[in-house]
Structure 1
Amino acid sequence: MTDPACFSATGSTAVTFPSGALEDRAVVRHVRALADGYGLVCDTTPFHPEDHSWPDQPGDRGAVEYGGRVLPVVDSVIGAAHRVTGELRVAGDITVRRGDPDWTWHVVHVVTDEPWDLAGHEVRLSVDPGRRAGLSAGHTGCELVGPALNAALRERWGKEVALDSLGAPDFDKIAIVSSRIGAHGSVDRYRMSKSLRRKGFVAEGLAGELGDLEARVNALLAQWVAEDVPVTVRTDGPSIADRRHFVCAVRQGTVTAACGGTHVATTGELGRVTARLELAEDGKELVLRTSMGEMAT
């Protein structure tokens, strides 16, 4: 293990994945043993990590190279380090909140080969481009299908609630329970609870209208893909701790959402996007499956 104080006190990991970067040179600031391998913390990285609090997009995989050695990076996760003690908590062990001034935030590159000799040295980091491309497409489709679903459900609200960036009642944000990004696809789950009904959502007759709702959602998605407009990630700063936002200007307005993931450059890259809705027999969960070709397992 490297000196913990030297890496935690110098600030959070700088990240280049918001711009689409796949390679970078970096200095290994910390090495530690994990339950399933070893974790490398660098001063900067192109690797996108899986978020511990909202694990929608899986972490990047790839490689770290140094002195003729190539170590496969099998996962990328979030780590939080105490500025004074250097204590590093990883993924599910993190209990502190972002913004706590006593902690810095890091991308932890998980490797299975012993990496102790890498500490303090400059290495080459490279992300698996095929995996990144698939997950970026899946995440972009997921960010677009939310407002498309909101628009399709607009008439099912009997009370005023928070609106999305296009001005529709934000069902996607209000009701979502989980979201999981895959290669060229995503699965979003919504809780059709009593509290949702109390907020004004009318669920009666929803099962019989799923086909019509799907058609409306898919029509909007097809329109936005055909427009082939730019997709960007707006950042508040260079580090993994800084907030990032998805931004995409379509005909109806600008879709914006807090989002820490990776994305394609334009909507046209998605090709045909298809959304499918499923309502549980008891009516308590709505599942939205979005695909651009076959989702990877």
Structure 2
Amino acid sequence: MQPTTVTFPSGALTEQTTVVDVRPHEGGSVVIVQQTPFHPVDHTWPDQPGDTGTLAVEGTTVCVENTVMVAVDDAGTLAVGADIPVKRGADGWDWHVGHLIAETPGWVAGTPVSAVVDAELRAGLSRGHTACHLASLALDAALADLWHKDPGTDPLGSPNFEARANATSRIHPDGSVDTYRLGKSLRKAGFRPDELAASLADREAKINELLAAWVASSARSWIETEGNTIADRRTWHCALPAGEASFLCGGTHVDSLEEFASITVALDLSDPQLLVMTTTVVPAVD
């Protein structure tokens, strides 16, 4: 099987496509189609949830309850999500988007199918993902003076706290929650967490000032792809006033910061070893 062609990087929400394979999976089925607008959750870094929506064949519509990564080896063995035993790009494996449904339909390869993504959920997740990246850049800038060694820089030239300390990132509609470890390894890298604790409110205020300025800029946001399959790398870009920022990113994003009325963060250091940043979006009103 050829890797699944994906159209979600361009913002697509619907496709007329064909069934490639249907396999039983956890009381239902996993459906692979030739071309899909559905974005799957990445089992190696599950920050953005998979899309939901519907698949329709000859008047019968089924709900897609989740969208996941699927890998198939040369022998036809299929592995789903966290059960995939190899890294992307491994020889002998093809990568696909799996649409999880509760039914066991009698669909066969070549059956025409209409794929429709839940547009409201996609929009909320796209805003949440873009805001998450912007918040991380603002956080790096707000903590820049707390380094006494060079940890490397982020896309805007600030010391890269995000890359050094991020432990988890979870995106939800119109927001995200990121956690950062402040342990011994970060201290050895040159970061001063004690000074962060003493100035947390000021740091939070600086982040929110930066985010407000970036939202006011109405900057363009877009995704560049190295190919049209789920196995190809994708990069998010944003033309911020401070310069163009970019991250390797497999998720979905807004087209412009005009889609935000505001982005704000709250920092929590209840556990001195763990900084929690909660990002909240207020969408722009049409």
Using the size of structure 1 for normalisation, the TM-score is: 0.93
For 1:164 and 1:43, how far apart are their aligned partners in 2? 37
The structure 1 residue matched to 2:276, chosen from 287, 290, 297, is 287
Counterparts of 1:12-51 in structure 2, within 5 Å, are 12-51=3-42
Are 2:149 and 1:159 equivalent residues in the alignment?
A: yes
Residue segments in structure 1 that go unaligned for 5+ positions in a row: 1-6
Helix, strand or coil at the partner of 2:22:
strand
The structure 2 residue matched to 1:233, chosen from 212, 223, 241, is 223
Residue-by-residue CA offset, 1:83-104 (whole Å, 9 max, x unaligned)? x201110001012011112111
The one-letter amino acid of 2:97's match is V
Q: Which consecutive segments of 4 or more residues in structure 1 shift more than 6 A?
A: none
For 2:261 and 2:248, how far apart are their aligned partners in 1? 24
Residue-by-residue CA offset, 1:49-108 (whole Å, 9 max, x unaligned)? 0000000000000000111100111100000111x2011100010120111121111100
Counterpart contact for 1:66–1:118, Cα < 8 Å? no
Residue segments in structure 2 that go unaligned for 5+ positions in a row: none
For 2:106 and 2:266, how far apart are their aligned partners in 1? 48
The one-letter amino acid of 2:35's match is T
The structure 1 residue matched to 2:268, chosen from 253, 275, 278, is 278
Counterparts of 1:45-84 in structure 2, within 5 Å, are 45-82=36-73, 84=74
Counterparts of 1:106-117 in structure 2, within 5 Å, are 106-117=96-107
Which structure features the higher share of strand residues? 2
Residue-by-residue CA offset, 1:216-269 (whole Å, 9 max, x unaligned)? 101111111100011000111100000111100111111110110001110120
Equivalent residues, number = 283
Identity of aligned residues (%): 44
Counterpart contact for 1:39–1:111, Cα < 8 Å? yes
Aligned-pair RMSD on alpha carbons? 1.1
For 1:36 and 1:178, how far apart are their aligned partners in 2? 30
Helix, strand or coil at the partner of 1:273:
strand
Counterpart contact for 1:81–1:104, Cα < 8 Å? yes
The one-letter amino acid of 2:179's match is R
CA separation of 1:279 and 1:161: change in aligned 2, threshold 3 A: same
The structure 1 residue matched to 2:179, chosen from 189, 212, 215, is 189
Residues 201-210 or 141-150, more deviating: 201-210
